[in-house]
Homo-oligomer: A and B are copies of this chain.
Amino acid sequence: MSDSLKVALLGCGTVGSAVLRLLSEQADDLAARVGRRVEVAGVAVRRPDRHAGVPAELLTTDAEALVTRDDVDLVVEVIGGIEPARTLLLAAIGAGKSVVSANKALLAEDGVALHAAAADAGVDLYYEAAVAGAIPLLRPLRESLAGDQLRRVVGIVNGTTNYILSRMAETGAGFGEALAEATEAGYAEADPTADVDGFDAAAKAAILASLAFHSPVRSSDVYREGIAAVSASDVARAAEIGCTVKLLAICERVAGEDGDTIAVRVHPAMIPTTHPLAAVGGAFNAVFVEADAAGELMFYGQGAGGEPTASAVLGDLVAVARNRLTGAAGPGTTGYAGLSVRPMAETPTRYHVSLDVADVPGVLATVAQEFAAHGVSIATVRQDGHGDAATLVIVTHRAPDAALATTVARLREMDAVRGVTSVLRVEGLS
């Protein structure tokens, strides 16, 4: 090992540039904290001519050669996406380099294989920046809470959708209008699919569930609904019952007759305005954790952006650099519990349903009977008459999601029901 630790940086976009800048600006502090200087050995990019701020001798288009270079100790990957990131990280790990990644998609897709490779090679694989940006979250889950049993992890982990839903709540706008505003303000990408349809949150949910429950969970295991179908009416109905609408990533341990399973899902939900997550506005992220002994915890901060993400990358970099010097790898992930993922249809959820009905005697009884027929117990009903019509606002107790969905489908077919004006799941009600 040379006198300094050498870092190969893969990718030099918003996050990569911030990592480079911080490595330079804080070189002395980092050296003191690590115990040795940390230097950049090279920066792999596709178009070297677009990175005028990076010393030319560091730039290379041959990422594969860079990650396996003898003088490289650590590899930082901020390319994103599955390939070529996967091939490069496996090559780096195979060559004995420790790896820091911000790549949620890759970790959620292939975390098991990457962890196995890292364990075989005796190197580190850290990825704090992959979930909730700058918020220290994965390390607390992996380490601080390693002596506890987690019950539930519920997070607002996508800033774009939280910004859109916050604007809808503030202005009464519909989804389309709020999305346009988010795009204008730079909070949504030109193609907002990954955020709006919940793919980004689902990848993060898979990573959180894997760590929280010591069981392998992949993006494709995560039930996913985006926010494109959330209407101004949904947001208004939520406010009427003291709730607000958030896109939640929910990872729960569910007790069952055949042992515990885990439910992992991403969908919009109404939560009480008194819930700590309800106050998380704009592009902020927050994750709420329930553990047997620790009780309720919450972590809050900026979930995206070059600097915050770079802060998380550098925290990991200091950790793997220290481990490099002591010759020990940090704790890997463990899939020892091997809990299986429960199908969404069998996952217990609660629904809020608002109905326009004919204001004639017996409607409530008919509607209530439909819920009962599917084994769904009703928690609260509010009925408001106006003219010959009435509005029914129903919040259920927990029931298997399929039973709730089927009930709603049947309600839509009932003669007495003129329209279903809002259906959303409800979380966080006692």
Contact = CB atoms under 8 A, between A and B. Distances in A.
Given A308-B293, A314-B148, A327-B328, A33 B136 contact: no
A214 B318 CA distance: 14
A119 to B, nearest CB: 11
Interface of A: 18, 22, 26, 29-30, 32-33, 128, 134-136, 139-140, 143-149, 214, 276, 279, 291-302, 305, 307-308, 310-319, 322-323, 326-329, 331, 334, 336-337
Nearest to A22: B293
Contacts of A276: 279, 300
A312 B310 CA distance: 28
B148 A311 contact: yes
Question: 5 closest Cβ contacts across the A-B interface?
Answer: A147-B314, A328-B328, A136-B144, A136-B140, A134-B294
A315 B32 contact: no
B134 A18 contact: no
A328 B319 contact: no
Given A144-B315, A145-B136, A214-B33, A294 B308 contact: yes
A427 B427 CA distance: 34
20 contacts: A22-B148, A26-B149, A29-B214, A29-B337, A32-B337, A33-B146, A33-B334, A135-B297, A139-B144, A143-B315, A144-B315, A146-B319, A147-B311, A147-B316, A147-B317, A293-B308, A293-B310, A297-B301, A319-B331, A326-B329
A315 B145 contact: yes
Contacts of A26: 147, 149
Nearest to A32: B336
B145 A297 contact: no
A20 to B, nearest CB: 12
How many copies of this chain sit in the oligomeric assembly? 2
Nearest to A38: B147
Contact of A328 (B300, B315, B323): B323
Contacts of A307: 292-295
A39 to B, nearest CB: 15
A91 to B, nearest CB: 25
Nearest to A31: B336
A201 to B, nearest CB: 20
A36 B135 CA distance: 31
Contacts of A315: 143-148
A317 to B, nearest CB: 6
Given A32-B336, A144-B312, A148-B314, 8 more contacts: A22-B147, A32-B334, A143-B318, A147-B317, A293-B307, A294-B302, A295-B302, A299-B299
A337 B314 CA distance: 18
A322 B26 CA distance: 30
A337 B279 CA distance: 37
B291 A296 contact: no
Contacts of A316: 147
A370 to B, nearest CB: 40
Contact of A311 (B18, B145, B311): B145
A314 to B, nearest CB: 2
Nearest to A326: B328
Given A33-B334, A298-B300, A293 B314 contact: yes
Nearest to A296: B301
A336 B30 CA distance: 11
A22 B292 CA distance: 10
A318 B33 contact: no
